[in-house]
Structures are given as C-alpha cells and as structure tokens.
Amino acid sequence: MNRSLYLEHDGKVLLVDLDGDGPRKAVMGRVGEISLRLPTEVEVRSMGIEWTERRINRIKFGEDYHEVVYALPEIVWPENWTWKDKLISDGCVDPLARECVYRSMHRVVSKVILVNQQNEIVLAKVKRGFFTGHWTLPGGFVDYAEHPLEGAVREVLEELGVNVDISEDDIVQIAERIFTSEGIQFLSFTYKCNVEKELSFTPKPDEIEEVRWFTMEEALSRAASLFDVEALRALE
C-alpha cells in the first residue's frame, strides 16, 4: 500500500515534485502532466519538519489503495507551501492530493428535534441518502453560504412541509465525527423545537417515506444516525 503524508497548516499544504523536492506551489487553472504530489514521511523528515499524527485515511483509487497520514506540522508559518484552494484547481497536482483536500473539508448537517406536549419526537423514514429505509431526525446538509440554523429551518420545511420557529438559543448539540477509514468528516448541528399545536405533515414525496411521532424510548431505539442518538440523549 502506498503511504503519503498530508500536512496542512493555516490553509496551506506541503507539496513536493516527483523527485520528492519541496516545498512546491500549485498554480490555479493549470493543465498538464502530473508534476506535484504529497510527500512521504522520509521526504518530510529530510526537510527537518516534525509533525503530530491526527489520523490515517485509506483511500482507494481504481485498484490501488493509498494510506494517507493526516498530521499537524510543528512549524510557525508555512510561507512557501501552497494554498489548498489553489491545489484543488491545478491539473498538474496528483489527484490523490486533491482528494485529500476534499476529505479534509467538513460536511455540515443540521437537524431538528420536534417535541410535542406529550414529550414525543418526530422521526422521518428516508427514501434516499446515507440512511435509506431508516428513521432519522428531520434535517440534512447545510447549503453553501447558509447558516446551520437557516439550513435546519429549510430542511424541515422541505422534508415535512412545516415551518418551525427556532433560534440559536435552541441548539442542543454540536458534534463532529469521522465514521469510516476513508475519512469523510461530518459536523452536525441539532436544534430543539417545542411544538404547542398539532402539526399536519406533508412529506417530500421523493425523499420521505413516512413521518411519525415516537416516545423518547422508541426514538432512541429507531434512530439510525449516531448524531441523532447523541442529540436525543442530551435531552434526557
């Protein structure tokens, strides 16, 4: 298995040329043959750089598996490293390096715990996505340039057809997890909304199969997402 080292500091990444010499900088919009890549641990040591390992991702490209060590470099400022924003748009950078930048980005999701006067919780059975066929709290991915609170309100309206009134003070949990060895990172915001009146749900046809109220115990036993379970337990 090929093994590389991904070092990022203040938005900059260490790249080397095909001979292992560096640091080298990416060029936005460039097209051509691969000339820049991530360094190996041996190459970084030869530069006199120390690091602290954060995690190891295993990424499959075609038939090959790559092991990438994500680490925090022990340096003050990587002046001659490349900005990760430029790296992803340079066609001369090894695709593995661009994929590693992609893996380092947070996937932000927002959820809402709807609670009625009987202390029951709304769960939705989804038709597509990560939890197809399973029960989850209403919510989903936060759009670009959208606050997690706005995303939570939008997702509940889209999925269930109801408007919710929540504020930043209604936050129940902010959680972060990497669930697999591939290293996709999720950041989840969960809000609580107390429901004072009966709601009439209009599930989104292509996304939601069913919407139901559950007791807290039932919701905990049926919720498929670890984020959902942790947020529900925070209310107990």
Q: Quick one: which of 138, 137, 117, 140 has its CA closest to 129?
A: 140
Angle 181-178-216 (CA atoms, 0-180°, nearest 5)? Answer: 130
| Strand 64-73 versus strand 12-13 pairing type | unpaired
Which two structure tokens, joined as six digits, stand for 125? 């059975």
Helix (H, G, I), strand (E, B) or coil at 139: strand
Which of 3.90.79.10, 1.10.10.10, 3.20.20.140, 3.30.870.10 would CATH assign to domain 2-103? 3.90.79.10
| CATH code for the domain defined by 106-235 | 3.90.79.10
* Cα–Cα distance measured from residue 63 to residue 124, given in angstroms and rounded to the nearest whole number: 38
The distance of Cα 167 from the centroid of its chain, to the nearest Å, equals 23
Which residues, listed in sequence order, are joined to residue 223 by a DSSP beta bridge? Answer: 135
Parse the chain into domains and list their residue ranges: 2-103, 106-235
Which residues of the chain carry a pLDDT beneath 70? Answer: none
- What pLDDT was estimated at residue 62? 77
Q: Would you state the pLDDT for residue 61? A: 80
Q: What is the pTM of this model?
A: 0.88
CA of 112: how far to CAs of 17, 65, 92, 214, 225, in Å? 47, 38, 43, 14, 13
Helices within the chain (DSSP H only): 41-46, 84-87, 95-103, 148-160, 216-222, 226-235
